[in-house]
Structure 1
Amino acid sequence: MGALLDQKYEKLFSLLDTNGDGVIAEDDFELMAGRVLAASREEDTQKGKKYAGEMMNYWRALRSSADADGDGRIDREEFRRALRQVSDTFDTLVGPLYHAGFHLADRNDDGLVGREDFVVVLAAIGVPATEAGATFDRLTEGNGQLAKDQLMTAATQYYCDEDPANTASHLLFGTL
């Protein structure tokens, strides 16, 4: 694995370790889902329930592939090793969470996400709002609306791509 993927995986680990205890566990996913739903005001909506469900599906899939010692917690090394496998099955394993997150942020269901809604969701995940805004601007190339295919391309590249030229996707969750 290259240095760029190591940096991205470390950033993702730090975001997923929502409570900051140095490991990723089910409670981290529950806490993050709660923060995102509260920030987006979607706690009791169908979109919110779908997002929370996909968050827990992602946890179960990650635990299944990463929790080598079976203790219900994923440390940094387990996470790093497993992310390569997760990346190979992105569309079925991780993709549904990103789809649900996009629909959560698509407040008016027009197939586009505006900057403010994008920033709200990423800030709830733990990305500083200024960095989330800069990410939105890079992904949309300044056109003010994010389409689902733009997000999915960036997310797939975040997990898999080591080309340093793809800065928009590498900085999906803020600076590395």
Structure 2
Amino acid sequence: MHSIRKVYANPNLIRNICSVRGVCALNVVGDGKKTMWSTNKKNIQNYSTITPIMKDVSSVQIVNNALTRFYSKSKSTKHHREYISDSDSDSDSDDEKPKGKGKVKIGDSEFWRRKIRTLHSVLDVNNDGVISYDDFQVLAENFIALGHLKPDDEKAFRDELKTVWEAQFGEINPYNLVNAEQYLTEIHVAVNDKSQRDRIHAFLPYLFKAVDKDHSGFISLTEYKLFFKCVGLTPEDAAVSFAVIDKNGDGKLSIKEFVKLGREYFLTEDEKRISRMFWGPLVSDH
């Protein structure tokens, strides 16, 4: 028997998938029943061929999305490994990370929820209340249009956003829309799963490179304003945020600092951390 591999999609629907000689077992929490699914090949990565064996499930798509997320989250680019390694080695505090069984998970505070709702509003480029893959594409175009990314980085950036989308939200189609509460749920699951944690901020190095117009390896307030402009925030918001996160007051941020702050935004519930301003002013409590 193969080992059980956890797949976190919507936690209200899916808990795990295990493969046993080409057969997948899906636990559907809604009705408490274990439903069997099979593939034509032993490798369950070929998820397009999945068909139900039993008749007590509502949709083959639930499994398709779950498997898409499972295999997408394992992908990694050279840039992702390089910059995540840097930020991990220089973490301010180990209390950002889940400590294991019995310990409090990340994401239980209202402050953390405000941060994630804030990011949802930033990623909702067209301000329709939901995030779609179209929003991700527009976001990419906004940064690429600055003209500072090399062709290879442009492609890697698009690929990374696609991987992030599939890992977090599943299938790419016009009807896959993510509201704020769903986004909160997905991010809460991801930050508490070591295998998913680094994927949620893997696109940050590309944002930095896109606004580092002189390719100096540092960004100034002027360049930080470009970052905020691309995500629909004002120069005034950028000035306020930069003043907070430029901790040493030298007027610049390195890519290591930038990625570290962006990563910490997801992983800490400490309201005193300067990373709280990374994506601009937090949305109001509600």
Give me the TM-score of the superposition, normalised by structure 2.
0.54
Residue aligning to 1:5: 112
Equivalent residue runs for 1:115-130 within 5 Å: 115-130=221-236
**Superposed displacement of residue 100, structure 1:** 1.4
Distance (Å, rounded) in 1 between the aligned partners of 2:221 and 2:160 = 23
**Superposed displacement of residue 9, structure 1:** 0.9
Does the Cα contact within 8 Å between 1:112 and 1:145 map onto a contact in 2?
A: yes
One-letter code of the match for 2:185?
R
Deviates further, 128-137 or 51-60: 51-60
Distance (Å, rounded) in 1 between the aligned partners of 2:236 and 2:164 = 27
**Superposed displacement of residue 4, structure 1:** 0.6
Does the Cα contact within 8 Å between 2:148 and 2:210 map onto a contact in 1?
A: yes
1:131 to 193, 218, 237: 237
Going from structure 1 to structure 2, the CA distance change for 1:47 and 1:105 (only over 3 Å counts) comes to farther
One-letter code of the match for 2:252?
Q
Q: Structure 1: any 5+ residue segments left out of the alignment? A: none
One-letter code of the match for 2:161?
M
Residue aligning to 1:24: 131
Residue aligning to 2:186: 82
Does the Cα contact within 8 Å between 1:43 and 1:49 map onto a contact in 2?
A: no
1:34 to 141, 151, 173: 141
Going from structure 1 to structure 2, the CA distance change for 1:110 and 1:13 (only over 3 Å counts) comes to same
Runs of 4+ with deviation above 4 angstroms:
none
Distance (Å, rounded) in 2 between the aligned partners of 1:42 and 1:108 = 8
Going from structure 1 to structure 2, the CA distance change for 1:136 and 1:52 (only over 3 Å counts) comes to farther
Does the Cα contact within 8 Å between 2:220 and 2:253 map onto a contact in 1?
A: yes
Q: Are positions 1:150 and 2:257 aligned together?
A: yes
**Superposed displacement of residue 95, structure 1:** 3.3
State the identity %: 21
One-letter code of the match for 1:107?
K
Residue aligning to 2:246: 140
Residue aligning to 1:106: 212
2:177 to 61, 68, 73: 73
1:22-65 per-residue CA deviation (whole Å, 9 max, x = no partner) reads 21111111112122222x2347744333333322322222213x
Does the Cα contact within 8 Å between 2:220 and 2:252 map onto a contact in 1?
A: yes
Which protein is richer in helix relative to its size?
1
One-letter code of the match for 1:95?
H
Q: Secondary structure at the match of 2:219?
A: strand
Distance (Å, rounded) in 2 between the aligned partners of 1:58 and 1:132 = 25
Q: Structure 2: any 5+ residue segments left out of the alignment? A: 1-107
Residue aligning to 1:57: 163
Q: Secondary structure at the match of 2:279?
A: coil
Going from structure 1 to structure 2, the CA distance change for 1:97 and 1:47 (only over 3 Å counts) comes to same
* Structure of larger gyration radius: 2
Matched residue count: 168
Q: Secondary structure at the match of 1:175?
A: coil
Does the Cα contact within 8 Å between 2:153 and 2:206 map onto a contact in 1?
A: yes
Does the Cα contact within 8 Å between 1:113 and 1:146 map onto a contact in 2?
A: yes
Does the Cα contact within 8 Å between 2:143 and 2:211 map onto a contact in 1?
A: no
Give me the TM-score of the superposition, normalised by structure 1.
0.84
One-letter code of the match for 2:113?
D
Does the Cα contact within 8 Å between 1:132 and 1:174 map onto a contact in 2?
A: yes
Going from structure 1 to structure 2, the CA distance change for 1:171 and 1:25 (only over 3 Å counts) comes to same
Distance (Å, rounded) in 2 between the aligned partners of 1:121 and 1:2 = 28
